[in-house]
Amino acid sequence: MISLKTDEEIERMRESNRIVADVLKLIGSMLQPGITTMELDRVAEDYIRSNDGEPAFKGYGWDKQNLFPATLCTSINEEVVHGIPSHRELQEGDLLSIDVGVKKNGYYGDGAWSFAIGRVTEEKQRLLMVTQEALEKGIEQARVGKKLHDISATIQQYVEANGFSVVRDLVGHGIGAQLHEEPSVPNYGKPGTGPELKNGMTLAIEPMVNSGTWKVNVLSDGWTVVTADKKPSAHFEHTIAMVNGNAEILTRSE
C-alpha cells in the first residue's frame, strides 16, 4: 500500500533530507586521493548526530548476523551500491558513489551522489554525466496524473541511448516513516504503466548505471554489489515529494 504523506509529514522529511544533502556536500568537499572511506564515514556520522539525526543505514538489514555496519555506503569503481567503508585509500582516477540515509523526528531521508577522485577517464566522466542527467530527466516526469513507470522508462531510454545499462536487480522505493516503502521505483519499464502519481507520494529515485552489462553480483560480505563484468558503475539518488502537482526535490543541496 502506498502511503500519501500529510503536509506535516513532508515537512519532517524536508528536515531529514536536508541533512542528507548536507552530508553529501560535506563529503564531496573532502574527497582527494589518499583519504579512506572509513574517515569519510566517521565525519558523516558525527555530522548527522550533531543535527539530532540517526544514521539510517547503520544496523540495517534482514540478516541479524550481518547488519550493515556503517553510516555511509561507499562504492568504488565496479562496486554499484552497498560498499562498506574501510581503510582502503581512494586513488586518483577512482569513481566513488556515496549513499546516505538519515532518520529524524520519525521520518527518513535518502540520497546518493557519485564523485570523480582527481582526473578520471573519459568513459567514467561520461558515465557520471549520463547517470546524473538520467536522474534529472526521470524527475521531470514526476507530475500528478502521470504513471510511475513514466519515470522508469525515461531513465532507461536515456541511459541506453548513451550506450550504458541500468541495473535491474536493484530499484528505487517509496520512503517516509520507513526507509523502504511501497512502491518500488525501477529504472526501467514501459511508459504509461505503474501506479498513478498523486500529491503526497514520497519517492527515492535512484538510477544505478553500469558502463557495461546491467548484470551484477554480491560479494562474500553479503552487501557489496559489483558489476558482473567489473566495469565501472555510477549511482545518483534524490528523494522527492509530490507537492501541488509537481516533484519537490527534498535532497537538493542549497
Digit-by-digit pLDDT tens for the chain (254 residues) are: 999 999 999 999 999 999 999 999 999 999 999 999 999 999 999 999 999 999 999 999 999 999 999 999 999 999 999 999 999 999 999 999 999 999 999 999 999 999 999 999 999 999 999 999 999 999 999 999 999 999 999 999 999 999 999 999 999 999 999 999 999 999 999 999 999 999 999 999 999 999 999 999 999 999 999 999 999 999 999 999 999 999 999 999 76
The pLDDT score that the predictor gives to residue 253 is: 78
Q: How many CB atoms lie within 10 A of CB 29?
A: 8
Query: Among candidates 198, 169, 199, 164, which has minimal Cα distance to 184?
Result: 169
Please state the pTM of the whole predicted model: 0.97
The pLDDT score that the predictor gives to residue 67 is: 98
CA-to-CA distance for 184 and 121, rounded, in angstroms? Answer: 33
Does the structural domain 7-249 have CATH classification 3.90.230.10? Answer: yes
Q: Is the peptide bond before 195 cis (omega within 30 degrees of 0)?
A: no
H/E stretch holding 11 reads helix 7-30
Query: Among candidates 170, 149, 164, which has minimal Cα distance to 237?
Result: 170
Q: How far is CA 85 from CA 2, 12, 37, in A?
A: 33, 29, 5
Give the torsion through C-alpha atoms of 188, 130, 179, 150, to 10 deg: -40
The pLDDT score that the predictor gives to residue 178 is: 98
C-alpha cell at 251: 535532497
DSSP conformation class of 97 = E
The pLDDT score that the predictor gives to residue 134 is: 98
CA-to-CA distance for 20 and 148, rounded, in angstroms? Answer: 24
Size of the chain in residues: 254
| Distance spanning both ends of the chain, measured CA to CA | 33
